Amino acid sequence: MLWACILLPQLALDAVLRRLPDPARPLALVGGPAQLRTLHAVNATAAAAGLRAGLRLTAAHALLPEVALVDHDAQAESRWQQFLAAWAYRHSSQVGAQWPGCLLLEVRASFGLLGPWPRIEARLREELTALGFSHRIAMAPTPRAAHVLAGLRDGLSVSNPAALRDLLDRVPVRRARLPGDAGERLHRMGLRDLRSVRALPADGLRRRFGAAVLDHLARLYGDADDALTLYRPPDRFDLRIELGYDVESHTPLLFPLRRMIGDLCTYLSIRDGGVQRFTLRLEHAIAHTDVDVGLLAAEREPALLFELTRSRLERVQLERPVVALRLIAQELPPFVPATRDLFDVRTQQNLPWPQLRERLRARLGDGAVHRVAPTCDPRPERAWRRVDADDGAVAPAPPRPPRPAWLLARPVPLRDARLRLVSGPERLESGWWDGADARRDYYVLETAQGQRAWAFAPPGEQGGWMLHGWFA
């Protein structure tokens, strides 16, 4: 593996400067408590006038009265580091952002796609300059070595492990990013470079400086693995489009909606994910209306998602004009494409069942499409249940006497003067355990019209028929 380290020496300052129209004006970031305001960072013009980090605010004003002051946001650095990690993710699948002020990219795997290292390096520099971040880049076989080399000289690159060891041996001990103040103490002990440090007996070094120094050296030279926490893109999608004018009907919303869905699907395909539930937020001048779109399975087909969202949107009454649209997807589960048989007999089918089901649910309601399954209860009204989920086979029911294919939701009186008894009775006496006690005699009857009815009567009687099903 080859690691590139992008050192961002003035991340917080660059983040402020890149949004200013004239970055050459003297500027300083101010931090610290209100009584003791000190400069956190200064730009080049301010530095030329004698300002430097750590200076008291009053002293800075005395030196350069026209300096622009911006409050330093402690969170900004890590936020911008995450932003740049997302940018770096385009160039490498393994991006580390765990060390403050720098990014690590595994670049060897990207050679095949993006070309050799000089080309990648030029590309990184070009894009960072366009983004407005000053940077130093170095490449080495281990991430720590890349970090050290980037601190030594901008543009240093070593790909051969043996050459790396030679180079590292000559690194001044204070520049080797040893943990804590170990580098300074070693320097004061008269050790100038890493070669002499490594020549020391290991147990003596461990006793004086702790195991961290030895660990650092082993990882620096590649003798031990360096476990990096790799950057993962966030599992949510949030996009907002300001319309710039008031929209009071659905049709003008469809064009921006199509673009938002397209962006979402691009994002999903980059992440190799799908979306199962998302919210379209119609923002009004004061409040907002949420349109929830839920699917049974993860999808990322733009046309399908657009159709679904559109049909949900069209059922919403717009009571107030819409000024902005926002698409929020909180859950982005992995996308599992449906597998299809190569020799599928129904090749001409143009809409697979999951998509048809989503279309039906979008118009008819979330619970409209379902299945039924038998249960083990002997009472007919409880011998079946709804199945809303779409997976899982249906287990067979225990064998029973003949049952009607149609069941009435609740029994109704059957009034027919010319009923003919076909079979029966079948005594059903059950349900004492849950309070819904049932004692019935079921008969199969034939009506005057030739219908086969499944009706019950109180035990021992043949009258007062209650119709419960049809043998259709």
Partner 1 sequence: MGGAIAIEALLATQTLWHAGRHAAIAADGEPTGHAALDALLPQRGWPRRALTELLLPADGVGELALLMPTLARFTQAGATVALIAPPYLPYAPAWQAAGVDLTHLQLIDAAARDALWAFEQCLRSGACAAVLGWPAQADAAALRRLQVAADSGACLGFALRDRRHADNPSPAALRLVHTRTGDGTGVWQVRKCRGGPAPVQAFAPGAC
Q: How far is the CB of 211 from partner 1 (least distance, A)?
A: 60
Q: How far is the CB of 295 from partner 1 (least distance, A)?
A: 16
The DSSP H or E segment spanning 354 is helix 353-364
The DSSP H or E segment spanning 62 is helix 57-63
Among 83, 87, 267, 384, binds partner 1 (CB under 8 A): 384
Residues from 33 through 52 that contact partner 1 (CB under 8 A): none
Residue the block writes with tokens 């699948």 = 93
The SS3 of residue 128 is helix
Per the omega criterion (within 30 degrees of 0), is the bond before 65 cis?
Answer: no
Do 403 and 469 form a contact (C-beta atoms < 8 A)? yes
Q: How far is the CB of 306 from partner 1 (least distance, A)?
A: 17
Query: Does residue 451 bind partner 1 (CB under 8 A)?
Result: yes
Q: How far is the CB of 278 from partner 1 (least distance, A)?
A: 23
Q: Which of 384, 353, 356, 352 is nearest to 371 (CA)?
A: 384
Residues from 331 through 360 that contact partner 1 (CB under 8 A): 346, 348-353, 355-357, 359-360
Choose the binding region for partner 1 from 4-12, 93-101, 257-265, 384-392 (rule: CB under 8 A). Answer: 384-392
Residue 267, token pair as written in the block: 């994002």
Choose the binding region for partner 1 from 120-128, 313-321, 381-389, 432-440 (rule: CB under 8 A). Answer: 381-389
Which is closer to partner 1, CB of 68 or CB of 405?
A: 405
Which is closer to partner 1, CB of 143 or CB of 380?
A: 380
- Tell me the site size for partner 1, rule CB under 8 A: 53
Distances (CA, A) of 414 to 8, 37, 417: 84, 90, 10
CA quadruple 206, 209, 211, 214: dihedral sign: negative
Which is closer to partner 1, CB of 401 or CB of 435?
A: 401
Q: Which of 381, 400, 405, 384 is nearest to 466 (CA)?
A: 381
Q: How far is the CB of 390 from partner 1 (least distance, A)?
A: 9
> How far is the C-alpha of 336 from the C-alpha of 350, rounded, in Å?
19
Amino acid at 115: G
Q: How far is the CB of 383 from partner 1 (least distance, A)?
A: 5
> How far is the C-alpha of 334 from the C-alpha of 369, rounded, in Å?
24
Site pattern 124..143 for partner 1 (x: CB under 8 A): --------------------
Q: How far is the CB of 127 from partner 1 (least distance, A)?
A: 46
CA 275 to chain centre: 10
DSSP 333: P
DSSP 227: -
In 97-210, which ranges are continuous DSSP H helix? Answer: 111-114, 117-131, 143-152, 161-169, 182-188, 194-199, 202-209
Q: How far is the CB of 448 from partner 1 (least distance, A)?
A: 10
Among 200, 218, 324, 383, binds partner 1 (CB under 8 A): 383
Q: How many beta carbons lie within 10 A of that of residue 308, not counting itself?
A: 22
> How far is the C-alpha of 13 from the C-alpha of 71, rounded, in Å?
11
Among 61, 240, 315, 371, binds partner 1 (CB under 8 A): 371
Q: How far is the CB of 424 from partner 1 (least distance, A)?
A: 16
Residues from 386 through 415 that contact partner 1 (CB under 8 A): 392-394, 396-397, 399-400, 402-409
Which is closer to partner 1, CB of 163 or CB of 436?
A: 436
Which is closer to partner 1, CB of 358 or CB of 441?
A: 358
Query: Does residue 379 bind partner 1 (CB under 8 A)?
Result: no
Which is closer to partner 1, CB of 232 or CB of 315?
A: 315
Do 277 and 330 form a contact (C-beta atoms < 8 A)? yes
Residues that bind partner 1 (CB under 8 A): 346, 348-353, 355-357, 359-360, 363-365, 367-375, 380, 383-385, 392-394, 396-397, 399-400, 402-409, 447, 449-453, 469-472
